[in-house]
Structures are given as C-alpha cells and as structure tokens.
C-alpha cells in the first residue's frame, strides 16, 4: 500500500529565500529516490511563507528508506531553524473511495 502524507510548515519572516532554496534542493533529491512517487511542493496562495508538501512513496518500506537517508536529518535540522513550527507537521493520508 502506498504511503502518502502532507508536510506543512511556515517560513519565518526573513527566511523565505533560504527556505525556498533548501526545499527545492531537497525535493530534487527525494524525487530521485527509487521508492518516491511524488514530492510536490506548494505554498498557500494567501500566505507564500506557508508550505504544503504532498509526498507519496511506493510503500511503507520506501518511506522508511526515505526517513533513513543520510540527507534527511541535516535538512530537517536546517529547516527547523527557519520555520515557525518546532518541526514539519505531518498528516498521513489514506485514499478515500
């Protein structure tokens, strides 16, 4: 079964460009992972500092491999310094219908 989630966070004022660059670089790496099916980055139209990232992985094992990848921990440590939340807020999704 696919593993699907939404990651949400808000860039702190003054960190918009750094967050955008960090996320763009990370997105390219994640999209190259063999088990990744989607890593779509959005910002809210009403608040361009608010990010929504739609992620989809082949299955639970592919998601576990993503979490274990060595680039994730440095990305999250750097991101956490530049966002309002303590960490990305993750919402796991199930297909409906």
Which residues are CB-contacts of 31 (< 8 A; sequence separation ≥ 6)?
39
Within a domain: residue 82?
A: yes
Q: At what angle do helices 16-31 and 72-81 cross, to 10 degrees?
A: 160
Within a domain: residue 70?
A: yes
Render 42-73 in DSSP notation, one character per residue.
EEETTEEEEEEEEEEESSHHHHHHHHHSTTHH
Give the global pTM.
0.95
* Cα–Cα–Cα angle for 76, 89, 80, rounded to 5 degrees: 30
pLDDT digits (tens, 9 = 90+) for 21-71: 999 999 999 999 999 999 999 999 999 999 999 999 999 999 999 999 999
Residue 73 lies in domain: 37-47+55-89
Within a domain: residue 63?
A: yes
Within a domain: residue 72?
A: yes
Based on the structure, what is the number of domains in the chain?
1
| 62-85: average pLDDT | 97
3 state DSSP class of 92: strand
The pLDDT value given to residue 97: 82
| 88-96: average pLDDT | 97
């Amino acid at each position: 079964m696919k593993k699907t989630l939404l990651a949400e966070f808000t860039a702190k004022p003054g960190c918009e460009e750094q967050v955008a660059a960090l996320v763009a670089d990370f997105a390219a790496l994640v999209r190259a992972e063999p088990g990744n099916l989607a890593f779509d980055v959005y910002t809210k139209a009403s608040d361009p500092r608010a990010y929504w990232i739609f992620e989809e992985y082949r299955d639970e094992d592919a998601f576990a491999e993503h979490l274990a990848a060595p680039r994730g921990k440095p990305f999250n440590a750097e991101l956490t310094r530049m966002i309002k939340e303590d960490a990305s807020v993750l919402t796991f999704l199930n297909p409906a219908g």
